[in-house]
Amino acid sequence: MPVSGWYRPDYASENTICRHLCRLLPLGSSEASNSKLSREEELEIEEQLKLLNKPSIKTYKTKEGDIIDCVDINKQPALDLPLLKNHKVQVVSHSLKKGPEKYYGTKSYMSVYNVSLSFGQSSSSNIWIVGGPTNSLGVLMTGWLVNPEVNGDFITRSFVYWTADGGATTGCYNMYCQGFVQVNPSHHVGAPLHPTSTYQGQQYDYQFTIIQIAGNWWVLVGENLGLGYWPKELVQNLVDGAEQIAWGGIAKPSIDGMSPMLGSGHKPNDNGDYNEGCYIRNIQIISGAATNTYKLPTWDNTLSYSSNTSCYDLNPNVNCGDDMMEYCFTFGGPGGPNCEATIF
């Protein structure tokens, strides 16, 4: 059976939030040690903080080489956004068809892999919350991501993403622009997820939740651990629920057209066994009136999609070979040339 868990570093107090400052390291550089920061690294942090005008309270360097900068929870960059100038920090925790009902949240467990890829490529497993017309499409996402351009390394990390207009002019990953409000002092956005799963071997998964509470869209990790939220003012087309929810993965190719592994790096087998493809299990949704009561999706209310089945595939078999995992599906693939950017 899968093993579930969360990596929870302990380096902040309840009045601070900690932000992962990405440093792009040369390929082939040795793994950073958990040592004191050099003067060069301190100056780099100071420059980044000057850009955001946010003085650091504490700075840490993790064993993965991350520079973690902690700032006052009420002085984080997200709250500088003009739309949020009167907003106060609050502390709490395949796709559905479009229809007459609105959706107010979803939670699920995702198996986590550390797929091999090259610089310029990206691979993820995620939840989508979607609403609005194409030219002003509101999208919220969370899950796990391997992306050296975003993270500065090839480690599997948690992530959040938002846009209010389909990515045309707004939005970003993690804390790289104003918008997402982080409230958890012990788990930062972009934290490394370990251990990771082995193909046909031991599986490790992590629970991700997006739920609308009092208009704001919260991201919860693990068992109802509130990571942070997108304020209701941020994405106008998601103020009152979402039109659609989806689960799956995205594979972004490098500039030479080579697409990376997705999920486990293997297509799911015909039985949809959970240790073959990457799985998303125990999917639950909140629909209709915003009652915060979860229920299982129904087979006739879901759609499956793969943009290129020669490179990636999906098996919506409902239970992934184990009734305890319902509602569940598996996906993934090896990638390769001529796959294009792929979304499930």
Residues 6 or more apart in contact with residue 43 via CB below 8 angstroms = none
Residue 158: the pLDDT is 95
Residue-wise pLDDT for 282-294, tens only, equals: 999 998 765 678 9
Length of the chain: 344
Distance CA 334, CA 187 (A): 31
Residue 289: the pLDDT is 66
Task: Kindly state the tokens that stand for 218.
Answer: 């919260």
Residue 338: the pLDDT is 78
Distance CA 163, CA 142 (A): 12
- Of the candidates 318, 308, 315, 303, the one whose C-alpha atom is nearest the C-alpha of residue 338 is 308
Residues 6 or more apart in contact with residue 38 via CB below 8 angstroms = none
Domains of the chain by start residue, with CATH: 86-343 (2.60.120.200)
Contact 317, 272 (CB under 8 A): yes
Torsion over CA: 163, 167, 168, 173 (sign) = positive
Q: Which amino acid is residue 248, in one-letter code? A: G
Computed on alpha carbons and rounded to an integer, the radius of gyration of the chain in Å comes to: 19
Distance CA 37, CA 17 (A): 20
Q: Could you say which DSSP state residue 95 is in?
A: B
152 phi, psi to nearest 5 deg: 80, 5
Distance CA 47, CA 40 (A): 11
pLDDT tens, per residue, the chain with 344 residues: 688 865 444 444 445 444 444 433 333 333 333 445 566 655 554 544 444 444 545 555 566 666 555 555 555 555 565 665 554 333 221 788 887 889 999 999 999 999 999 998 899 999 999 999 988 999 999 999 999 999 999 999 999 999 999 889 999 999 999 899 998 877 889 999 999 999 999 999 999 999 999 999 999 998 878 899 999 999 999 999 999 999 999 888 888 888 889 999 999 988 878 999 999 999 999 987 656 789 998 878 888 888 888 888 888 878 888 899 999 999 999 988 877 655 55
Distance CA 109, CA 61 (A): 29
Does residue 317 come out as left (phi exceeding 0), alpha (psi in the -120 to 50 range) or beta?
Answer: alpha
Task: Kindly state the tokens that stand for 227.
Answer: 């990571």
Residue 61: the pLDDT is 58
129 phi, psi to nearest 5 deg: -115, 125
Residue 6: the pLDDT is 54
Residue 71: the pLDDT is 54
